[in-house]
Chain A
Amino acid sequence: MPKCVLIVDDEEDIRSITKLGLEMATDWTILTACSGQEALEIATMQKPDTILLDMMMPEMDGRATLRCLKAAAATQEIPVIMVTAKAQPANLSSFEDLEVAAVLAKPFRPLKLAQEITAILGWV
């Protein structure tokens, strides 16, 4: 059964590139959401194996989306990987209180991303 990954980002180009990269590297099913709200709906319906969640989004940002995901029974078990442009070494400590599987810094290499996700979540 191929893995299913949900990409959440308000930028269409970033969604496309990330999706394309993961599809080229794996046989995973890639879903995308352009807002926190849409992410919650898709996550509830599709139950992806992981969620790549952008930190900075208008209206409902990554933090708020994460809180909702962790609060709902249907989605609280899904591991979340936070994606941020701010993950310089000095900024990482501000993520320590979040219930995330990992924090990835942008820019990431779309092809390497699959390896990173596999390593973080311990997928074989």
Chain B
Amino acid sequence: MVNSSVAAKAYQADILAIDDTPENLQLLSQLLTERNYKVRSVTKGKTALRAAQAAPPDLILLDVNMPEMNGYEVCQQLKLDERTRDVPVIFISALGETLDKVKAFQVGGVDYVTKPFQVEEVLARIETHLQLRSLQRQLQQQNAQLQSEMRERQLAQEKFTKAFRASPSPITITSIPDCKFIEVNPSFLRLTGFSQEEIVGQRAADLQLGLTETSSAKGLAELSAAGVLHNREVELRTKSGEVRTLLLSVELIDIAGNACALTVANDITERKRLENEFISLVSHELRTPLNALIGSLDLLTTGRLGTLTEKGQHVITIAVNNAERLIRLVNDILDLERMRSGKLTLQKGSCNVTDLLTHARELLQSMADQASVTLLVESIDVRVEVDCDRILQLLTNLLSNAIKFSQPNSQVWLTAQQRDDHLYLQVKDQGRGIPADKLHLIFERFQQIDASDARQKGGTGLGLAICRQIVEQHGGRIWADSSMGQGSTFHVSLPLNPSPPP
């Protein structure tokens, strides 16, 4: 068996035999055909070349002594032609001198058989060279394939190296868990102001870059668990000390068996600045006309600019209520946005819990009176380290919600307790309750249980979202439970002595 492609044919191999003596040819041809070779026989060198070029055989048996063109010349011609260069040539000749044999190899023959020959010897040599040729072909193919694969790989690598280096987004590859920079791209260098030599091999902490979100143990644990982190906002300190805000996306990758973090950054400093500018612009531009509107309506309601009918009065009341609702909404949106963007920092101080609760009750007393709701306060004498204004805002938000959703002649409780190292606050009402499937939504923005609530109760849909922000900024927790028709309870847990922020 020579190789699969040949074996698939009806014959073992295609052999071209060249000899000027027809008897010899006859003999060879018969011998080989019996052994299932396909044999083409020619008596002249020129014919042989044409036959070989038209359909290159697997092997050539070539007589040396021939008129016109001898075997050596035929072989030289074969070796000059691209199509036949690789076909193995075995010389068969009565010449038995060593010099003849040497000449045969010099012109490109692979073997030499002396006449008269032993049939078994000729067959063995043919088989050997066919096998060699087939192996050689295989090697050539494999070599070509390897080379093309290498080229592809090089091309791919070049593509990715170029993409990495030319990327407008800063990219880094860091080792895990020691967080050393292995590779950074020019965009990252431009962003940080450091040079390649200054960064590679260092950790973000060594360079005081900040970026704690991704280099902290917590960030690493999250990355290991999820394999990817998206759009984490972090602050980066450049070499010159400038602080930039980045959005990072991090992917866990494997480089030569080592876990690494591939981080793509997006500099959003400018975007954030515009956002903040926009917020303060909106804040002023929206509020000014609203203030003028409310003032004008107020003057109209006095009746001193002309008497209005009862319906006219009613219409003005509607206008006043809605203008006020709009201004509350603008204030709440701005408050929430400032808290979410971290622009509003806590002004912490030591507060007495009883004072806080009493103050909150005083602020809501008239609202409670109007709704015929009784406010009951139960406090403890303990001091707590919080932003008192914000906690007051939290309590008044929760209390006004409770009053809004209470029936006349019902009660609202505001209580404080100490539980271990936490201050535990509770606002409980006897109102209509919150459906169980809505409880998890109520701390999201604009998630009033009933769309008509906003109109009837004058709420903005942002109160509880603001509450959650305040509590979370204090490192605490807020949650609610409720049973339909029985009332709702809002729970807040705040650390009494919060640890300083890291």
State yes or no: do A and B come from one complex: yes
Chain A positions within 8 Å of B, measured between CB atoms, are 11, 13-14, 17-18, 20-21, 24, 56, 85, 88-93, 106-111
In the assembled complex, 16 residue pairs joining A and B whose CB atoms fall closer than 8 Å, in A order, are A11-B288, A13-B289, A13-B296, A14-B295, A17-B299, A21-B295, A21-B298, A24-B299, A85-B283, A88-B335, A106-B287, A106-B291, A107-B295, A107-B324, A108-B295, A109-B294
Within the assembled complex, what's the spacing in Å between the Cα atoms of A24 and B299? 9
Closest 10 CB pairs of A and B: A17-B295, A13-B292, A107-B294, A90-B389, A107-B291, A85-B287, A106-B291, A109-B298, A110-B295, A89-B389
Contact of B292 among A14, A88, A92 (CB under 8 A): A14
Does the CB pair A17–B389 fall under 8 Å? no
Does the CB pair B335–A18 fall under 8 Å? no
Q: B44 in the interface, Cβ–Cβ < 8 Å? A: no
Q: B411 in the interface, Cβ–Cβ < 8 Å? A: no
Q: B331 in the interface, Cβ–Cβ < 8 Å? A: yes
Interfacial chain A residues near B387, Cβ < 8 Å: 90
Contact of B327 among A17, A93, A107 (CB under 8 A): A107
Nearest chain-A residue to B359 (Cβ)? A89
- Give 15 A-B pairs besides A14-B292, A107-B294, A109-B295 with Cβ atoms closer than 8 angstroms: A11-B288, A13-B289, A13-B296, A14-B295, A17-B292, A17-B296, A18-B295, A20-B299, A21-B298, A24-B299, A88-B331, A88-B393, A90-B387, A91-B389, A111-B299
Q: B347 in the interface, Cβ–Cβ < 8 Å? A: yes
Interfacial chain B residues near A11, Cβ < 8 Å: 288, 292
Interfacial chain A residues near B271, Cβ < 8 Å: none
Question: Least Cβ distance of B485 to chain A in Å?
Answer: 33
Does the CB pair B299–A21 fall under 8 Å? yes
Inter-chain contact total with CB atoms closer than 8 Å: 62
Question: Least Cβ distance of A64 to chain B in Å?
Answer: 17
Given the known interface contacts A93-B389, A107-B327, the answer about A85 and B284 at a Cβ–Cβ threshold of 8 Å is yes
Q: B392 in the interface, Cβ–Cβ < 8 Å? A: yes
- Which one of A17, A92, A93, A110 has the highest number of Cβ atoms from chain B below 10 Å of its Cβ? A17
Question: Least Cβ distance of A111 to chain B in Å?
Answer: 6
Q: B304 in the interface, Cβ–Cβ < 8 Å? A: yes
Does the CB pair B284–A56 fall under 8 Å? yes
Within the assembled complex, what's the spacing in Å between the Cα atoms of A110 and B299? 7
Within the assembled complex, what's the spacing in Å between the Cα atoms of A109 and B301? 11
Nearest chain-A residue to B387 (Cβ)? A90
Given the known interface contacts A11-B288, A14-B295, A17-B295, the answer about A89 and B327 at a Cβ–Cβ threshold of 8 Å is no
Within the assembled complex, what's the spacing in Å between the Cα atoms of A89 and B400? 15
Question: Least Cβ distance of B378 to chain A in Å?
Answer: 23
Within the assembled complex, what's the spacing in Å between the Cα atoms of A25 and B263? 66
Does the CB pair B389–A110 fall under 8 Å? no
Interfacial chain A residues near B389, Cβ < 8 Å: 89-93
Q: B302 in the interface, Cβ–Cβ < 8 Å? A: yes
- Which one of A18, A56, A89 has the highest number of Cβ atoms from chain B below 10 Å of its Cβ? A89
Q: B129 in the interface, Cβ–Cβ < 8 Å? A: no
Does the CB pair A14–B299 fall under 8 Å? no
Interfacial chain B residues near A109, Cβ < 8 Å: 294-295, 298
- Which one of B287, B288, B344 has the highest number of Cβ atoms from chain A below 10 Å of its Cβ? B288
Within the assembled complex, what's the spacing in Å between the Cα atoms of A85 and B328? 11
Nearest chain-B residue to A110 (Cβ)? B295
Interfacial chain A residues near B390, Cβ < 8 Å: 90
Does the CB pair A14–B288 fall under 8 Å? yes
Cβ contacts B134-178/A at 8 Å (1 or 0 each): 000000000000000000000000000000000000000000000
Given the known interface contacts A21-B299, A89-B389, A89-B392, the answer about A14 and B335 at a Cβ–Cβ threshold of 8 Å is no
Q: B290 in the interface, Cβ–Cβ < 8 Å? A: yes
Within the assembled complex, what's the spacing in Å between the Cα atoms of A88 and B328? 10
- Which one of A14, A91, A106 has the highest number of Cβ atoms from chain B below 10 Å of its Cβ? A106
Within the assembled complex, what's the spacing in Å between the Cα atoms of A111 and B389? 28
Within the assembled complex, what's the spacing in Å between the Cα atoms of A111 and B304? 11
Within the assembled complex, what's the spacing in Å between the Cα atoms of A69 and B389? 30
Given the known interface contacts A88-B335, A89-B392, A93-B389, the answer about A110 and B298 at a Cβ–Cβ threshold of 8 Å is yes
Interfacial chain A residues near B291, Cβ < 8 Å: 14, 85, 106-107
Question: Least Cβ distance of B357 to chain A in Å?
Answer: 15
Question: Least Cβ distance of A60 to chain B in Å?
Answer: 16
Enumerate B266-314 residues with CB–CB distance to A below 8 Å. Answer: 283-284, 287-292, 294-296, 298-299, 302, 304
Question: Least Cβ distance of B330 to chain A in Å?
Answer: 9
Within the assembled complex, what's the spacing in Å between the Cα atoms of A124 and B389? 33
Question: Least Cβ distance of A14 to chain B in Å?
Answer: 5
Within the assembled complex, what's the spacing in Å between the Cα atoms of A89 and B298? 23
Question: Least Cβ distance of B327 to chain A in Å?
Answer: 6
Within the assembled complex, what's the spacing in Å between the Cα atoms of A20 and B302? 12
Question: Least Cβ distance of B93 to chain A in Å?
Answer: 110
- Which one of B289, B295, B392, B396 has the highest number of Cβ atoms from chain A below 10 Å of its Cβ? B295
Contact of A24 among B290, B302, B392 (CB under 8 A): B302
